[in-house]
Chain A
Amino acid sequence: MAIEPTILEMRTITKEFPGVKALDRVSLSVKAGEIHSICGENGAGKSTLMKVLSGVYPYGTYEGEIVYQGEVSRFKDIRSSEAAGIVIIHQELALIPELSITENIFLGNEPRRFGTINWVEAKRLAIDLLARVGLEDDPDTQIKNLGVGKQQLVEIAKALNKSVKLLILDEPTAALNQADSQHLLDLILGLKGRGIASIMISHKLNEIEQISDSITILRDGKTIETLDVKIDGVNEDRIIRGMVGRTLENRFPDRNSDIGEVFFEVKNWTVQHPLTSERMVVKNSSFTVRRGEVVGFAGLMGAGRTELAMSLFGRSYGTFISGQVFKDGKEIQLRNVSEAIDHGIAYVSEDRKALGLNLLDDIQDSVVAAKLSKISRGQVIDKVAEHHVAEKYRKSLRIKTPTVQEGVNKLSGGNQQKVVLAKWMFTDPDLLILDEPTRGIDVGAKTEIYGIIRDLAAQGKGVIMISSELPELLGVSDRIYTIFEGTITNNLTADEADPETLLKSMTSAKKKVTQP
Chain B
Amino acid sequence: MSAPRVEPKKSGGIRDLGKMFGAGQSSGRQIGILGALVVIIVFFQIATGGLTLDPINLINLVNQNAYVLILAIGMVMVIIAGHIDLSVGSVAAFTGIIVAISMQSWHFPPALAILFGLVVGAIIGAWQGFWVAYVGVPAFIVTLAGMLIFRGGNQFVGSSQSIPVPDAFAFIGNGFIGDFGPNTNYSNGTLILGLLVAIAVIWQEIRSRRTQSKMGSDKAPVWVSIVKLVILEAVVIYATLLFAGGRVGTSYPISGIILGVLVLLYSFITRNTTFGRHIYAVGGNWHAAELSGVKIRRINFLVMMNMSILAALAGMIAVGRSVASGPGDGVGWELDAIAAVFIGGAAVSGGIGTIVGSIVGGLVIAVLNNGLQLLGVGVDRVQIIKGLVLLIAVGVDVYSKKQGRPSIIGRFTRSRDINAALDRPDITPTNSAEETSRPPATTPN
- B211, A357: Cβ atoms under 8 Å? no
Assembly CA distance A57 to B23 (angstroms): 40
In the complex, are the beta carbons of B434 and A361 less than 8 A apart?
no
Q: Is A158 among interface residues, defined by CB-CB distance under 8 A?
A: no
Given A369-B288, A402-B417, 11 further pairs, Cβ under 8 A: A340-B293, A360-B280, A362-B24, A362-B25, A381-B273, A398-B424, A398-B427, A400-B423, A402-B422, A403-B217, A448-B429
Residues of A near B417 (CB, < 8 A) are 402
From B273, B281, B291, B443, give the contact of A380 (CB < 8 A): B273
Cβ of A429 under 8 Å from chain B:
yes
Which of chain B's residues 256-273 have a Cβ closer than 8 Å to chain A? 272-273
Q: Is A469 an interface residue (CB 8 A)?
A: no
Could you tell me which A residues sit within 8 Å of B by CB distance? 313-314, 316, 336-338, 340-342, 344, 347, 349, 354-362, 365, 369-374, 376-381, 383-384, 387-388, 391-392, 395-398, 400-403, 405, 407, 423, 425-426, 428-430, 448, 451-452, 455-456, 459
Do B281 and A358 have beta carbons less than 8 Å apart? yes
**B271–chain A nearest beta-carbon distance, Å:** 8
Asked whether, in the complex, the Cβ of A452 is within 8 Å of the Cβ of B285, the reply is no
In the bound assembly, the distance between CA atoms of A436 and B323 in angstroms comes to: 64
Asked if B292 and A423 make an inter-chain contact with CB atoms under 8 angstroms apart, the answer reads yes
A429 / chain B contacts, CB cutoff of 8 Å: 440
- CB contacts (< 8 Å) of B247 on chain A: these are none
For A384, give its contact among B23, B214, B424 (CB under 8 Å). B214
B105 interfacial by beta-carbon distance below 8 Å: no
CB <8 Å contact, A337 and B273: no
A341–B272 CA distance with the chains assembled, in angstroms: 23
Interface contact A428-B442, CB-CB below 8 Å: yes
Interface contact A384-B292, CB-CB below 8 Å: no
B280 contact from A314, A354, A358, Cβ within 8 A = A358
Cβ 8 A contact of A316, one of B291, B431, B435, B445: B291
Chain B residues within 8 Å of chain A by Cβ, number: 52
Chain B stretch 423-445: residues in CB contact (< 8 A) with chain A: 423-424, 427, 429-437, 440-443, 445
> Residue on A with the closest CB to B445?
A373
Task: Check: B277 CB closer than 8 A to any chain A CB.
Answer: yes
Residue numbers of B with Cβ under 8 A of A are: 23-25, 211, 214-217, 272-275, 277-278, 280-281, 284-285, 287-293, 295, 351-352, 415, 417-424, 427, 429-437, 440-443, 445
- Given contacts A376-B445, A455-B433, whether A358 and B288 have CB atoms under 8 Å apart is yes
Q: Give Cα distance in the complex from A383 to B431, angstroms.
A: 23
B275 lies within 8 A of A359 (CB): no
Cβ–Cβ < 8 Å partners of A316 in chain B: 290-291
Residues of A within 8 A of B415 (CB): 402-403
Given A338-B295, A356-B288, is A381 in contact with B274 using a C-beta cutoff of 8 Å?
yes
- Across the interface, which residues of B come within 8 angstroms of A336, CB to CB? 293, 295
**In the complex, which residues of chain B have a beta carbon less than 8 angstroms from the beta carbon of A361?**
280-281, 284
Measured CA separation A513–B285 after assembly (Å): 40
Taking A374-B443, A398-B429 as contacts, is the C-beta distance between A407 and B25 under 8 angstroms? Answer: yes
- CB nearest neighbor in A for B289: A358
The complex places the Cα of A296 from the Cα of B284 at a distance, in Å, of 32
Is the Cβ of B291 less than 8 Å from the Cβ of A347?
yes
Min CB–CB distance B258 → chain A (angstroms): 23
What is the distance, in angstroms, from A378's C-beta to the closest C-beta of chain B? 7
CB distance from B53 to the nearest CB of A (A): 36
Q: By the criterion CB–CB under 8 Å, are B431 and A359 in contact? A: no
Instruction: Please provide the 9 A-B residue pairs with the shortest distance between their CB atoms, ordered closest to farther.
Output: A358-B284, A396-B432, A370-B292, A402-B418, A338-B293, A360-B284, A402-B421, A358-B285, A387-B215
Contact A373:B427 (CB < 8 A) given known A359-B284, A360-B280: no
**Is B23's CB under 8 angstroms from A405's CB?**
yes
Residues in chain B near residue A398, CB distance under 8 A: 424, 427, 429
Contact in complex: A428, B436 (CB < 8 Å): yes
8 Å CB contact of B211 from A362, A384, A397, A455: A384
Please, which residue of chain B has its CB at the minimum distance from the CB of A365? B277
Query: Which residues of chain A are within 8 angstroms of B352 by Cβ–Cβ distance?
Result: 360
Q: Quick one: closest A residue to B421, CB to CB?
A: A402
Q: Which residue of B lies closest to A370 (CB)?
A: B292
Cα–Cα distance between A456 and B431 once the two chains are bound (Å): 12
Give the CA-CA distance A336 to B146 in the complex, in Å: 32
Docked Cα-Cα span, A347 to B285, in Å, equals 16
Tell me if A337 and B418 are in contact (CB < 8 A): no
**What residues of chain B lie closer than 8 Å to A380, measured between beta carbons?**
272-273
Q: A365-B277, A455-B433, A459-B436 are in contact. Are A358 and B351 (CB under 8 A)?
A: yes
Within 8 Å CB of A384, what residues of B?
A: 211, 214-215
B423 in contact with A381 (CB, 8 Å):
no
- Contact check, B291 vs A373: say whether CB atoms are below 8 A apart: no
Asked whether B440 lies within 8 Å of A344 as measured between CB atoms, the reply is yes
B125 to chain A, nearest CB (A): 20
Q: For the complex, give the distance between the alpha carbons of A392 and B445 in Å.
A: 22
Q: Provide the residues of chain B in CB contact with A405, threshold 8 Å.
A: 23, 217
B residues in contact with A369, CB < 8 Å = 277, 281, 288-289, 292
- Contacting residue for A400 out of B422, B429, B432, B436, CB 8 A: B422
| Nearest Cβ on chain A to B402's Cβ, whole angstroms | 14
Instruction: Tell me which of A349, A361, A378 has the highest count of chain B C-beta atoms within 10 A of its own C-beta.
Output: A361
| Residues in chain B near residue A349, CB distance under 8 A | 291
**Distance from A371 Cβ to chain B, minimum over Cβ atoms (Å):** 8
- List, in ascending order, chain B residues with CB within 8 A of A401's CB: 421-422
